[in-house]
Structure 1
Amino acid sequence: MKNRLFLLVAILSLGLFLAACGGADENNEGNNANTDENGNTASEGEQASDYKVSMVTDEGGVDDKSFNQSAWEGIKAWGDNNGLSKGEGFDYAQSNSSADYMPNISRFVRDDYDLIFGVGFKLKEDLQKSAEQFADTNFAIIDEVVDAPNAASITFKEHQGSFLVGVAAALKTKTNKVGFVGGIESPLIKKFESGFIAGVKSINPDIQVEVQYAESFTEPAKGKMIATNMYGNGVDVIYHASGGTGNGIFNEARDQKHNDPDRELWVIGVDRDQYEEGQIDENNVTLTSMVKRVDVAVQDVIERGMKGEFPAGELLEYGIEENAITIATTNEEAMTDEIITAVEEWEEKILDGNVEVPQTTEELEQYIDSL
């Protein structure tokens, strides 16, 4: 009898314990859920499915192997993580000319997208107008600044990454001549140029840096012609910040490497790891790339918006510290341990505040004078 009574008490105690555990789980589940305006709860997945994100490219296109592509990869990664698909939760619109900007933006507004990205400084004017006209929609522009209470401006510390690839170029050159090719001359691209030259001169002030602007981000033929002249003048490392125009620089480097496999010449890519663009025969002419993690910034802004914390009216700047600026080390043969160690040392100096990387021509001149 005593044994049966003991068994009954044990069973009742177990039941109470399990019920308590179940209640705790339910309470935790409720605490982790999101609550809508009516007091109803929704899981993160359900919340994400209600949040729609889109982007409008500039003329470079979504597969420009540059920041359009990186931005799209960030949006797509967010969508994939939340079980969404292109056209069902996230999408992009291709702009073939500047005349497409406003129609593309307006279409996404009509389709009730919560957040619309404009990729590139060329979209500034149309995104500014759209933000003022459509106050209930959130907008974000990449590589520019707009002034609106429902818009965020996403910028990067490109000068930091450009400084680091400048260090790599200076340690790699055999001719003491390196080159910089920009797309359209602007304050943005001047950040790339200034940072690069500062990095080069920090290693060896006597290295010559040849600079030329193509005045286009979409003309590979012009990039190829500039590279032909630079390599012909003895330059052996070219860093480009020229979007699709840079494809022509890679083409010329591959052609020359194919014709003379023993010649050492290099290209430094931009925005994303452009290692694949440098492959030719058994060689690869991509020394490194200044990787601008537009995808990291885009995902950060989306996540904040999805949580109801969209950085409206804010100017955001992503750099080394935010893991949004780095350089590629994919080409293990070219990026030797010596070069990587030196780059890491200079990176620490930047993070510690011991090196203030110049962003303008004036700051660059002052920096060089201080060396």
Structure 2
Amino acid sequence: MGVASLALAASACGKTSSEASSDDDGKDDKSGGSSKYDAKGIGLAYDIGGQGDQSFNDAAYAGYEKARKDFKIGGVDMEPGDGESSADKVQRIEQLAKQGYDPVIGVGYIYAPAIKEVASKFPKTTFGIIDDNTVKADNVADLVFHEEQGSYLAGVAAAKATKADHVGFIGGVDIPLIHKFEAGFVQGVKDTNPKVKVEKQYLTEKPEDGGFSSPDKGENAASGQIESGADVLYHAAGLSGQGVIQEAGSQKVWAIGVDSDQYKQKALAKYKDYILGSALKDVGGAVYDLTKSVVEGKPITGEQRYDLKSGRVGFADTNPKYTAMKDVVAAVEKAEKDIVDGKVTVKTTP
């Protein structure tokens, strides 16, 4: 977590977490030319769950902080409001653009309609939308990932680590994006050991019902899967995933995190010995890349699809207990090479 230098009260369009001032309004680009960067900095709007989810939003925050530090620019990050409407999202994105932030980034596919509407009003501002590739505009970067590839590696690790030949997948919301995580995980499990049983559960049908923001729902789902016999649980559930990891750790079975390296998250330190690894999605890297391009005067636009080959998708191996499991590590490394080399194509639907 960063230290807020300017806190604003909550409003209909969410609350502002922090802001920094820029002490360097110009940057030289690497082509030898010069780009005058005179925006206020990065404008970041969080997805459901907000900052502190130890996963998706925090990954975006890490890239936001690194970009501000490296490029000596300002920034403001805004939280979603409880039970907010689509109009609230439009208001938040428009507020950031009006105030002079550039780029303005919506963290999550839920911002697609807002980005599409506001980008047309501010053609000189660069917008980014994470996890959506439907916003087609000259000043918008669609920052999307091959989540199924990292999930495949999670499936390989789970299939090699299970002692019960029984693993589980817990998705936050029953939507196409999370189906990609399920598809990759199940394929990774079955390609490694067809005998392994896979439990599958989604916490809610709609995002507004708390599938990505309710640790208690994750805990209950994990408890049920463990009771059914699963001894490795993989979640793609945002903040709800904290409940999955906590329950797995309490029951002394393996959990696999998502998006961020959850073994390193302070809020989960009590349970880290039971975090086998995490399927990484470098949302922070995408935020950083886009900001860098704007600062250098050459904004990235259009679809940017990150995969294993680019290094923006992967599997975290920071738990010493994982690295000590040589057969698991070898299997995951082989699977990664096979995907990058084109020998394995990972499904995007279950």
TM-score range, shorter chain: 0.7 to 0.9
CA distance 1:246–1:35, shift in 2 (3 Å): closer
CA distance 1:60–1:177, shift in 2 (3 Å): same
Match of 1:193 in 2: 182
1:79-98 matches, cutoff 5 A: 79-84=68-73, 89-97=74-82, 98=84
Query: Is 1:104 the equivalent of 2:92?
Result: yes
On the 8 A contact 1:49/1:82 being kept in 2, the answer is no
Query: Is 1:311 the equivalent of 2:306?
Result: no
Question: 239, 252, 263: which one pairs with 1:244?
Answer: 239
CA distance 1:170–1:103, shift in 2 (3 Å): same
Secondary structure class of the residue paired with 1:133: coil
CA–CA separation in structure 1 for the residues paired with 2:29 and 2:108: 41
Question: 120, 123, 145: which one pairs with 2:111?
Answer: 123
From the two aligned structures, give the one with the greater helix fraction.
Answer: 1
Deviations 1:298-323 (A, max 9, x none): 111111222222123x1110011111
CA–CA separation in structure 1 for the residues paired with 2:187 and 2:114: 35
CA–CA separation in structure 1 for the residues paired with 2:235 and 2:241: 6
| Higher RCO (C-alpha under 8 Å, 6+ residues apart) | 2
CA–CA separation in structure 1 for the residues paired with 2:60 and 2:322: 28
Match of 2:171 in 1: 182
On the 8 A contact 1:279/1:285 being kept in 2, the answer is no
Query: Is 1:323 the equivalent of 2:308?
Result: no
- Kindly report the root-mean-square deviation, in angstroms, between the aligned alpha carbons of the 2 structures: 2.0
Residue type at the aligned position of 1:119:
V
Deviations 1:147-184 (A, max 9, x none): 22211100001111100111000000011110000011
Segments of 5+ residues of structure 2 without an aligned counterpart are 1-27, 205-210
CA–CA separation in structure 2 for the residues paired with 1:307 and 1:48: 8
Match of 1:202 in 2: 191
Match of 1:273 in 2: 261
Deviations 1:190-245 (A, max 9, x none): 11000001100111111110100001101111111111110001000000000011
Q: How many residues align?
A: 310
**Pairwise CA distance, 1:31:** 9.9
Deviations 1:9-47 (A, max 9, x none): xxxxxxxxxxxxxxxxxxxx99976446xxxxxxxxxx4
In the superposition, the TM-score normalised over structure 1's length comes to 0.79
CA–CA separation in structure 2 for the residues paired with 1:179 and 1:298: 31
Secondary structure class of the residue paired with 2:218: helix
Query: Is 1:114 the equivalent of 2:102?
Result: yes
Query: Is 1:71 the equivalent of 2:60?
Result: yes
1:153-164 matches, cutoff 5 A: 153-164=142-153
Secondary structure class of the residue paired with 2:143: strand
Secondary structure class of the residue paired with 2:90: helix
Secondary structure class of the residue paired with 2:138: coil
Query: Is 1:232 the equivalent of 2:227?
Result: yes
Residue type at the aligned position of 2:335:
W
Secondary structure class of the residue paired with 2:141: strand
Residue type at the aligned position of 1:310:
P
On the 8 A contact 1:278/1:284 being kept in 2, the answer is no
% identity of equivalent residues: 36
Question: 247, 258, 282: which one pairs with 1:293?
Answer: 282
CA–CA separation in structure 2 for the residues paired with 1:49 and 1:341: 49
In the superposition, the TM-score normalised over structure 2's length comes to 0.84
Residue type at the aligned position of 2:232:
V
Match of 1:360 in 2: 349
On the 8 A contact 2:235/2:241 being kept in 1, the answer is yes
Residue type at the aligned position of 1:71:
A
CA–CA separation in structure 1 for the residues paired with 2:317 and 2:191: 21
Query: Is 1:218 the equivalent of 2:218?
Result: no
CA–CA separation in structure 1 for the residues paired with 2:152 and 2:30: 46
CA–CA separation in structure 2 for the residues paired with 1:72 and 1:220: 20
**Pairwise CA distance, 1:247:** 1.0
CA distance 1:344–1:180, shift in 2 (3 Å): same
CA distance 1:252–1:296, shift in 2 (3 Å): same
On the 8 A contact 1:278/1:285 being kept in 2, the answer is no
